[in-house]
Amino acid sequence: MPADGTRMTSPRPLERRQLTVMLCDLVGWSALSVQRDAEDLADVMQAYRGRCAAVIARHGGMVAQYVGDGILAYFGYPRAHEDDAERAIRAALEIAEAEQSPRVHIGIATGTVVVGHLSDAMTAPSDAASRQSWDEISAVGSAPNLASRLQGLADPGAVIVSEETRHLCGAMFEYHDLGHHALKGFGDSIQAWQVLREPAVRSRFHALRAPTLTPLVDRRAEVEQLRDLWERTKQGRGGAVLLTGEAGTGKSRLAEVVASEIAVRPSVRIWFYCSPNRQSTPLAPIVRQIFAGTGIAATDDDATKLEKLRRIVPIELGASNEAVPLLAHLLSIRYEHAYPSLNMSPQRLRRRLFDALMQLLEAHATRAPLLLVVEDLHWLDPSSYEFMGMLLDRVERLHMLVVLTARPEFQAHWDDHPALVHLPLGPLERGDAIAMIKILCGDTAIPPRTVDHIADKTDGLPLFIEDLTRDVLETVEASGEPNAALASSIPATLNDSLMSRLDRLGSAKSVAQTAAVIGREFAYELLARVAELPDDELTDAVDRLVAARLLVRRRAAQVLTYAFQHALVRDAAYSSLLRKAQEALHAKVARVMTQDFPDIAELQPELVAHHLQAARDPDRAADYLVKAAKLSARRSGFVEAIAQLQGALKLLAGRDPSPERMRRELRIHLALGGVYAEYRGFSSQACGDAYRRALELCRQLGDAPEVFAVLSGLGSFEITRANFAACRALGAECLERAAKQTSRPPFIMGHLLLGGTAFLTAQFADARRHLDAALADYDADRKTGRRAQVLYVQDQKSTALCYLGLIDTIMGDVAEGRRAAERGLEHSRTLGGPHTINFSQTYLAAVLHIAGDYDEALQRADEALELAREQGFATWIGVSQIIRGYALVHAGQAAEGLGEIVAGMKAHSEMDAIAYRAFGLALFAGASMFAGAADDAERALDEALTLVSRTGENFYLAELWRLRGELLATRNDAPAAEAALRRAIDVAREQGAELFEERSTASLKALQRKKPVDSR
């Protein structure tokens, strides 16, 4: 029986037809048939035939014959569709994908055949037995043979098509050119193409509209220019073009012209779509494209998801390429079971991800010239925006044309990039508008007056022209007389004409309205859950909206998806709802998303937030924005995360003060503090402000469990700003509150804040007590540190050990100090977080420097600097550069060393950090003296002494005085030098800084030895 269900009850006469023939065969079937039992084989065969027949039928083909393991199918008979060749390819791809063991190989060819019942007896057999032979439809012509030859060329899993089939499908698929082949019976130059895939994201135009597009009117100059750009691109001189114009002027249409008429023949085409609801989602259009392109589904397990990701990474990039794990991270897919964990700072992750995305695009562009269309830039998120800038920098050296579309208000800092051509689109001229109206009217007679009228009203805006003309046509068709349109008044605005067309659709109108609440683009399944209509009613309504060209089907999407034909169509449908109804529907969409689509709630919380906000549920909207922000930060989208958190705060701003509201606000500020710490460092003002506000809220609430995280965050800010009194108070508060509960981490936080402050203010014994206590608590709590590592905060045990390393060294036990710092680094390495490791490396270098071991300090500082640069840790770049610079000067490379110190100081102050600035100045002064630049040294020491007298950061004070003494000694001012050295000795002794005391004492002795000689 023909698989499309049209059982033929009578013989079909022979007819000439264009037919697409598909031959599908199992790979290695004969081998299998020797190995396996016949009964098993029969089962395998039956299941295989059943599956294939179902696929073929679904795509509108018929199974003509089974020959052993071969299946012969026809597309275009008994019923012809305009896209039979496409249908055949789609069915073949689906079969090849589904049949994995054994695999299949498939050949497809199109040609003119004579088809029908070839039986000699055309007398209708009446008995059932001979019905079998009626179903034996044969096609005679070259296509069946060619299909079979091509099938013979196909590797397991491959689909090979003839030139003619490929030609019919135009740009619908991506192919691999197999070149020309000698095929038995066909001569020696038969072109064969392997179908690779259906491009996953195709323009919305391809979705059902393609056959009914109004032929392009005017835009000749633009098309010419685009054609030139493509010609250059093919020669390896790529570029970018920005099409700007009001909504509905035809930007997308021109981009589509490039895709379907200019960038034809071997080329790769990729579409990125921006959307207003995802403007603060990092890399939103790219993420969306990857999901669509890979077909990753919520229900796939991790291994399947990774496998699908792997398929879009070109093999040229090599197996060791990080692209797969980086993309997996971006899409929140677990990859750690298959790839080493991407253990790196968010900054570095972002760079690597951008590099990987660039590589992906570049690799595609080396296979064939690449057309990348980025639609609706006015809705671009900040990360994609940055990525686009990067793309512009490289595009001229690639076989790549980037076509960007945006409304006129869009502005970018790369606006005037030399690689970017601006192409503003204005309205159509009247003559062209009239031509367009006439084309749209086709055979329907419309009085010239009406045509003029439409042209007057629509001001050359193509979208409006199309819509209003359709509106008029529908009116005329409904009444059957050409003057009907003018008799009933013609709508004056696009919105009015859209509404009048919607109204004509009766019950489908409310479906359009519901869909509009979901958004420009929506999955059918989601619409179904929200609309709650019987399935056939809903399908019918959607079909009618598609027929009216208000909706288009997104064919390439993996789940059945529709989009409004234009953003303005969606807006019109939406605004036709009363506010109350909008709100109720938004609430429903949010409910359905959270209850039935956990994937959306998990991976796109910003969408849920959007609906909750529109449903006037700001509290829950804020909660979802916080979720979205955390996801953004995980994807290194800090700018987006901050925007989302600030959006959440704004939502709460209008709320009555209540403990609930305060708790929410507290969570937002705490998250904001964390994001800023990661993005700009703890020392940034914004970070401090967020934590400070969070602490106020904690105090008002009295019992917030978040208080410890807040105290620790704010303490970290204060300590980097050298606000020691403030930090001490916070540490004390932390311990006080800790005493009222039982878990350890709050104690560790409190002791660390106090220990760090005490160290920097030179209360070494006190510092040691707190740090030892922190270590004891850390070791007593098996959970701390091990798992719950926050990336940008260094581990607490490592921190304590590194501080102790400095303290022991300064207090004179150099060997123990070094051991402690080394243990700190070791511990960091076992944890593996790059930030913690980098912190420990830098501290170890500082310990070695203070101990006077400059050679080793240089090695450690080099290591630290390398990692810091690689990961983009600005804090550690500065400090390790300073230590490294000093060692270089000490080793005789004065100019390079001093330059390095200056650069390090600059990096440090750009972070707005104050703590350790005096230390840096001391190193600069020492190095300057070494290099003979006494005046520079003097200035630096003055600044340092003034600074520490204000802040109380005294841990290096003795050294500052010693350096000043030595500077004065070189200027032969012995009495002043001696006074300074004595001051250094006093300070050191009082602090218990034995190392510094010894050093100053030695300097003093040297001065005294020299004195008699000098004074002679």
Ligand X SMILES: Nc1ncnc2c1ncn2[C@@H]1O[C@H](COP(=O)(O)OP(=O)(O)O)[C@@H](O)[C@H]1O
* Residues in binding contact with Mg ion, number by CB under 5 A: 1
d(CA 825, CA 819): 10
Nearer Cβ to ligand X (252/277)? 252
Identify what 145 binds: Mg ion, ligand X, none; CB under 5 to 8 Å per kind: none
From 23-31, 155-163, 248-256, 848-856, span contacting Mg ion (CB under 5 A): 248-256
Q: Mask: binding to Mg ion, 153-192, rule CB under 5 A, as x and -? A: ----------------------------------------
d(CA 68, CA 877): 70
From 296-304, 458-466, 607-615, 734-742, span contacting ligand X (CB under 6 A): 458-466
Identify what 219 binds: Mg ion, ligand X, none; CB under 5 to 8 Å per kind: ligand X
- In the block, tokens 């003060």 appear at 657
**If binding is defined by CB under 6 A, does position 251 make contact with ligand X?**
yes
**If binding is defined by CB under 6 A, does position 242 make contact with ligand X?**
no
* Of 653, 678, 667, 755, the residue nearest 707 (C-alpha): 667
**If binding is defined by CB under 6 A, does position 249 make contact with ligand X?**
yes
Nearer Cβ to ligand X (223/577)? 223
Tokens of 290: 């990857």
Identify what 218 binds: Mg ion, ligand X, none; CB under 5 to 8 Å per kind: ligand X
Residue 327 φ/ψ region, left for φ over 0, alpha for ψ in the -120 to 50 degree band, beta for the rest: alpha
| Among positions 217, 494, 801, 1004, the unique one binding ligand X when judged by CB under 6 A | 217
- Compute the least distance from the CB of residue 256 to Mg ion, in Å: 9
Identify what 436 binds: ligand X, Mg ion, none; CB under 5 to 8 Å per kind: ligand X
**If binding is defined by CB under 6 A, does position 250 make contact with ligand X?**
yes
Nearer Cβ to Mg ion (252/875)? 252
Tally of helices (H runs) and strands (E runs) in the chain: 44, 16
Q: What is the CA radius of gyration of the chain?
A: 37
d(CA 877, CA 870): 10
Between the alpha carbon of residue 825 and those of residues 246, 462, 804, 860, the distances in Å are: 59, 66, 12, 11
- In the block, tokens 């071969």 appear at 70
Identify what 466 binds: Mg ion, ligand X, none; CB under 5 to 8 Å per kind: ligand X
| Side-chain half-sphere exposure of 835, counting CA atoms within 13 A | 19
d(CA 196, CA 176): 6
* Residues in binding contact with ligand X, number by CB under 6 A: 20
**If binding is defined by CB under 6 A, does position 436 make contact with ligand X?**
yes
Tokens of 232: 């250059």
**If binding is defined by CB under 6 A, does position 462 make contact with ligand X?**
yes
From 72-80, 462-470, 513-521, 986-994, span contacting ligand X (CB under 6 A): 462-470
Is the bond leading into 448 cis (omega within 30 degrees of zero)?
no
**If binding is defined by CB under 6 A, does position 566 make contact with ligand X?**
yes
- The contacts of residue 893 (CB under 8 Å, 6+ apart) are none
**If binding is defined by CB under 6 A, does position 247 make contact with ligand X?**
yes
| Side-chain half-sphere exposure of 536, counting CA atoms within 13 A | 0
Q: What are phi and psi of 83, to 5 degrees?
A: -120, 40
Q: Report which secondary-structure segment, H or E, holds 961.
A: helix 957-970
- Compute the least distance from the CB of residue 573 to ligand X, in Å: 16
From 217-225, 504-512, 624-632, 868-876, span contacting ligand X (CB under 6 A): 217-225
d(CA 36, CA 41): 7
Tokens of 966: 């030595």
- In the block, tokens 């597309």 appear at 75
| Among positions 86, 466, 706, 718, the unique one binding ligand X when judged by CB under 6 A | 466
Q: Mask: binding to ligand X, 400-419, rule CB under 6 A, as x and -? A: -----x--------------
- Compute the least distance from the CB of residue 390 to ligand X, in Å: 25
**If binding is defined by CB under 6 A, does position 252 make contact with ligand X?**
yes
Nearer Cβ to ligand X (252/761)? 252
| Among positions 2, 238, 248, 282, the unique one binding ligand X when judged by CB under 6 A | 248
- Compute the least distance from the CB of residue 426 to Mg ion, in Å: 16
Residue whose Cβ sits closest to ligand X: 250
- Compute the least distance from the CB of residue 274 to ligand X, in Å: 12
Concatenated DSSP letters for 407-421? -TT---TTTT-TTEE
Identify what 247 binds: ligand X, Mg ion, none; CB under 5 to 8 Å per kind: ligand X
**If binding is defined by CB under 6 A, does position 214 make contact with ligand X?**
yes
By the 8 A CB rule, do 646 and 294 touch? no
**If binding is defined by CB under 6 A, does position 119 make contact with ligand X?**
no
- Compute the least distance from the CB of residue 228 to Mg ion, in Å: 23
Tokens of 904: 């390090």
Nearer Cβ to Mg ion (131/407)? 407
d(CA 683, CA 882): 19
Identify what 253 binds: Mg ion, ligand X, none; CB under 5 to 8 Å per kind: ligand X
DSSP state of 204: G
Nearer Cβ to ligand X (405/761)? 405
Concatenated DSSP letters for 500-516? HHHHHTTTHHHHHHHHH
Alpha helix (H) residue ranges in 115-247: 131-134, 142-153, 163-169, 220-234
From 46-54, 246-254, 508-516, 572-580, span contacting ligand X (CB under 6 A): 246-254
Q: Report which secondary-structure segment, H or E, holds 98.
A: helix 84-98
Torsion of CA 82, 83, 88, 89, to 10 degrees: 160
**If binding is defined by CB under 6 A, does position 729 make contact with ligand X?**
no
- Compute the least distance from the CB of residue 375 to Mg ion, in Å: 6
- Compute the least distance from the CB of residue 419 to ligand X, in Å: 23
By the 8 A CB rule, do 624 and 605 touch? yes
Nearer Cβ to ligand X (253/669)? 253
Nearer Cβ to Mg ion (203/794)? 203
Residue whose Cβ sits closest to Mg ion: 252
Q: First vs last Cα of the chain: how many Å apart?
A: 123
- Compute the least distance from the CB of residue 909 to Mg ion, in Å: 47
Buried b (16+ CB within 10 A) or exposed e, 683-708: bbebbbbbbbbbbebbeebeebebbb
**If binding is defined by CB under 6 A, does position 159 make contact with ligand X?**
no
Q: Which amino acid is located at 479 in the chain? A: S
Taken as a whole, the chain contains a residue count of 1016
| Among positions 233, 252, 683, 712, the unique one binding Mg ion when judged by CB under 5 A | 252
- Compute the least distance from the CB of residue 213 to ligand X, in Å: 6
- Compute the least distance from the CB of residue 141 to ligand X, in Å: 38
Tokens of 197: 């895939």
- Compute the least distance from the CB of residue 405 to Mg ion, in Å: 6
Question: β-strands 400-406, 370-375: how paired?
Answer: parallel
- Compute the least distance from the CB of residue 610 to Mg ion, in Å: 21
**If binding is defined by CB under 6 A, does position 463 make contact with ligand X?**
yes
| Among positions 219, 329, 586, 849, the unique one binding ligand X when judged by CB under 6 A | 219
**If binding is defined by CB under 6 A, does position 253 make contact with ligand X?**
yes
Residue 885's Cβ-count burial label (10 Å; 0-12, 13-18, 19+) is buried
Identify what 245 binds: Mg ion, ligand X, none; CB under 5 to 8 Å per kind: ligand X
- Compute the least distance from the CB of residue 413 to ligand X, in Å: 23
Tokens of 571: 């807006």
Nearer Cβ to Mg ion (252/841)? 252
d(CA 580, CA 615): 9
Residues within the interface to ligand X (CB under 6 A): 213-214, 216-219, 245, 247-253, 405, 436, 462-463, 466, 566
Residues within the interface to Mg ion (CB under 5 A): 252
